[in-house]
Amino acid sequence: MRHYEIIFLVHPDQSEQVGGMVERYTKLIEEDGGKIH
């Protein structure tokens, strides 16, 4: 099994949207069978 580390940068103007971004990426990864530790 391969392991990947994903880092994303958020522009300060969009800082209040971070929660939604994390939820979208989490859903995308888990729907494709990935796991988040």
**Phi, then psi, of 32 in degrees rounded to 5:** -95, 15
Q: 34 or 2: which carries more pLDDT confidence?
A: 34
Q: In this model, does residue 28 exceed pLDDT 90?
A: yes
Tell me the C-alpha distance between 22 and 27, whole Å: 9
Q: What is the mean pLDDT of residues 6-33?
A: 91
What is the reported pTM? 0.66
Q: What is the mean pLDDT of residues 21-30?
A: 93
CA 37 distance to own-chain centroid: 12
Mean pLDDT of the chain: 89
Mark out the alpha helices in the chain (DSSP H runs): 18-31
Please answer whether residues 36 and 29 qualify as being in contact, where contact means their C-beta atoms are separated by less than 8 angstroms: yes
Please report, for residues 2, 8, 13, 35, 36, the alpha-carbon distance to residue 21 in angstroms, rounded to integers and kept in the order given: 24, 10, 14, 17, 15
